[in-house]
Amino acid sequence: MKNLKHILFFFLVSHVYFGGTFAQSNQTDSLYLIINSNVETREKIKAYTALTNIQSTKNFDECLELVNDGRKLAARFKDSAALAYFDNIAGVAYYFKGSYDSAAVLYQRSLAKTRATGDLKALAGLLNDIGRLYRKTKDLDRSLSYYDEALNIYRNLKNEDGIATILNESGVVFEYKGDYPEAISRYKESLAIREKMNDSLGISYSYSFLGGVYNLQKDFDNAKKHHEYALEIRKKLKDSFAIILTLSDMGVMYKDMGQFDQSIDYFSLSNAFAEAMRYPQLLLENYRTMAELEEKRDKPGQALMYMKRFGALKDSLFNAEKVKQIEELNTKYETEKKEQQLQLQEAQLSRKNILIFGISLGGLLLIIAGLSIYRRKQVQNKLALQETINIEQEKAARAVIEAEENERKRIAAELHDGVGQMMSAAKMNLSVFESELPFADDAQKKSFENVINLVDLSCKEVRSVSHQMMPNALLKKGLADAIREFIDRIDHRVIQVSLHAEGLREKLDANTETVLYRVIQECVNNVLKHAQASRLDISLIKDTDGISVTIEDNGKGFDASKIKDAEGIGVKNIRSRVQFLKGTVEFDSSPGQGTLVAIHIPGA
């Protein structure tokens, strides 16, 4: 009887899930017709925003593909609001995929653009998303600061929907802090607003939040009642995403109640739909809890299976501390870009005002025009001269780098084909003599063997130096594989090195790959020589804005404010090579806090 009820319930939820999909099919079909048309209009941008919003909690990969197409169209129309939205919604998709590093970068990039548009409602929604991300990484005070800013905006706008949402979302922060009365107070205030609005979905979320906090307090009667209220509403609404969250919450509740069989049933249902939606964040929590349950049910085989799934999925998720540092760095970059844009706009406005003032003077028009032409000519001449100087400097830098790389190739070939071959031949000849020479005693034989070993070590050292000077992986496979091969040769007993590469499936321009490889190689060697670190994280991300590289260690660090006064040859080489690619490089460090090197190459 129990299995029959389980199957009927599964069928009911499946009907709800697919029924909800069919209910939206007409809307999505209409939107796809618009984006697949040959005419590029602003209506097409609106279709992309609507479609990405639908897919952001249903099909994360489809959402990201739509974002890329929509972003290109918005860029052609110079629609800054749409560009900000696409960064935001892509961040949501990456958040649910468990790629917190990508989500953090996209959220902060969207934040700078959204603040510039002045759209307060969009800004509050984005602040809510960022608050949720920091809540997930357990940076609770920072999470609450974003929620508070969003709540103040919604209250000023008298936006009840937004107020209710933030009350629920921020209530979870107080749950994590152990302040259950404040969490319940916020959830109930949100519920009252949703009931006033007659918003069924919003009511279900308030019930779900209340069920969770009652469960934490072991008030299982209230917990079960509120979760069942939420599930019933979500079945009627056919909201598949909300349903699987409730199923997982009820699995936790039955586990805490000691009813392990029911708990496993609910987690299994939740997993079935989470796997279909590719929702790794929820699967991770479910697998870990199910492993604990199976161990309590004395089923070690099942427990081991779920723990293995948990471990494999956890390895693919990004470290929360790394997310925080990337986000801070990205905020710094976007702020600098915004300041430059504002300065440019102010300069343009100033020139327009001067022109209007000149026209109004009337009688002085010819004199002002003559002076303007003269000054403009001077500026043009200076710009032309500067451009010529820049071109020549670029040619000189390119020639130096190309000459350096050619010399590296030549020396590497000489070492490998010349010195390396001769050393190998010497080793072979010595090995032949070993069997022919009579040794007076064991000590003499041991000395001869030491000579052979020294020759062998020299062969290996020649091959190693040859490979470092011009790695084959860079020539044959590309930057990511060359870096991976380089770090694989590092002794992991001394330092743990990880590499995250994204968007580098195709080879880059040869100069770009070579320069970035040398820069990363220099940075890693600096860490090995000076940082006294136990961990090194390298990130390579290529997107429509270019290539972003971060090299971060947990070593002894240094005073970054003094780096310009104490730059050695290594740092100068890094800066000159990055500048050759028209990129930027920043060093972020302080004593005892490790070091982060951030590189950005635009449009690579």
**Predicted local confidence at residue 434, as pLDDT:** 66
**Predicted local confidence at residue 241, as pLDDT:** 80
Residue 313 vs residue 83, higher pLDDT: 83
In the block, residue with structure tokens 């079909």: 29
Q: Is the pLDDT of residue 413 over 90?
A: no
Q: Residues near 366 by Cβ (< 8 Å), separated by ≥ 6?
A: none
**Predicted local confidence at residue 149, as pLDDT:** 96
Residue 256 vs residue 460, higher pLDDT: 256
Task: Pick the closest to residue 254 from 217, 279, 220, 281 (CA basis).
Answer: 220
Residue type, 373: I
- Identify the burial level of 604 via C-beta atoms within 10 angstroms of its C-beta, where 0-12 means exposed, 13-18 middle and 19 or more buried: middle
Alpha-carbon gap, residue 366 to 362, rounded angstroms? 9
Question: Is 472-602 assigned to CATH 3.40.640.10?
Answer: no
Superfamily for domain range 119-238:
Tetratricopeptide repeat domain (1.25.40.10)
Domains 119-238 and 472-602 share a fold: no
Q: Is the pLDDT of residue 570 over 80?
A: no
101: pLDDT confidence band, cut at 50, 70 and 90? confident
595: pLDDT confidence band, cut at 50, 70 and 90? very high
**Predicted local confidence at residue 111, as pLDDT:** 94
Helices marked H in 489-601: 510-526, 569-580
**Predicted local confidence at residue 10, as pLDDT:** 43
Q: 10 Å Cβ neighbour count for 355?
A: 12
Q: Is the pLDDT of residue 191 over 90?
A: yes
**Predicted local confidence at residue 150, as pLDDT:** 96
Alpha-carbon gap, residue 602 to 604, rounded angstroms? 6
Task: Pick the closest to residue 568 from 535, 514, 525, 599 (CA basis).
Answer: 525
Task: Identify the bridge partners of residue 496 per DSSP, sorted by sequence position.
Answer: 535
Ramachandran bin of 433, using left for φ above 0, alpha for ψ from -120 to 50, beta for the remaining angles: alpha
Ramachandran bin of 557, using left for φ above 0, alpha for ψ from -120 to 50, beta for the remaining angles: left
Alpha-carbon gap, residue 38 to 66, rounded angstroms? 16
318: pLDDT confidence band, cut at 50, 70 and 90? very low
**Predicted local confidence at residue 562, as pLDDT:** 74
**Predicted local confidence at residue 563, as pLDDT:** 72
Task: Pick the closest to residue 426 from 465, 397, 401, 456 (CA basis).
Answer: 456
Q: Is the pLDDT of residue 229 over 60?
A: yes
Q: Is there a contact between 296 and 36 (Cβ–Cβ < 8 Å)? A: no
Alpha-carbon gap, residue 198 to 4, rounded angstroms? 36
Q: Residues near 138 by Cβ (< 8 Å), separated by ≥ 6?
A: 176, 320
- The full 3-state SS of 116-129, as one line of letters, equals HHCCHHHHHHHHHH
Tens of pLDDT, residues 467-524:
555 566 566 778 888 888 888 888 788 899 999 988 887 778 877 888 888 888 889 9
Q: Tell me what the pLDDT averaged over the chain comes to.
A: 80
Q: Considering the chain, what percentage of its residues have pLDDT values greater than 90?
A: 33
21: pLDDT confidence band, cut at 50, 70 and 90? very low
Mean pLDDT of 66-76: 92
**The CATH number fitting domain 42-117, selected from 1.10.3470, 3.40.50, 1.25.40, 3.40.630:** 1.25.40
333: pLDDT confidence band, cut at 50, 70 and 90? very low
In the block, residue with structure tokens 């939606």: 277
CA-angle at 120, arms to 197 and 145, nearest 5°: 90
Tens of pLDDT, residues 116-142:
999 999 999 999 999 999 998 899 999
Domain ranges across the chain: 42-117, 119-238, 376-469, 472-602
Residue 22 vs residue 260, higher pLDDT: 260
Mean pLDDT of 396-408: 58
Roughly how many angstroms between the first and final C-alpha of the chain, as a whole number?
62
Mean pLDDT of 392-410: 59
Element (H, E) at 399: helix 365-413
**Predicted local confidence at residue 461, as pLDDT:** 64
Please give the distance of CA 385 from its chain centroid, rounded to a whole number: 41
Q: Residues near 459 by Cβ (< 8 Å), separated by ≥ 6?
A: 420, 423, 424, 427
- Identify the burial level of 170 via C-beta atoms within 10 angstroms of its C-beta, where 0-12 means exposed, 13-18 middle and 19 or more buried: buried
**Predicted local confidence at residue 3, as pLDDT:** 41
Q: Which DSSP category does 439 fall into?
A: P
Q: Is the pLDDT of residue 339 over 60?
A: no
Mean pLDDT of 221-244: 89
Q: Residues near 270 by Cβ (< 8 Å), separated by ≥ 6?
A: 244, 245, 247, 248, 251, 282, 286
Bridge-based pairing of strands 595-602 and 584-589 is antiparallel
Mean pLDDT of 258-268: 89
What three-state secondary structure class fits 552? strand
What three-state secondary structure class fits 509? coil
Copy the structure tokens of residue 3.
Answer: 């299995």
Inter-helix orientation angle 320-360/100-117, to 10°: 20
Q: Is there a contact between 555 and 527 (Cβ–Cβ < 8 Å)? A: yes
In the block, residue with structure tokens 């709800």: 16
322: pLDDT confidence band, cut at 50, 70 and 90? very low
Q: Is the pLDDT of residue 157 over 90?
A: yes
Task: Identify the bridge partners of residue 538 per DSSP, sorted by sequence position.
Answer: 499, 551
Q: Which DSSP category does 298 fall into?
A: T
Q: State the pTM of this model.
A: 0.47
424: pLDDT confidence band, cut at 50, 70 and 90? low
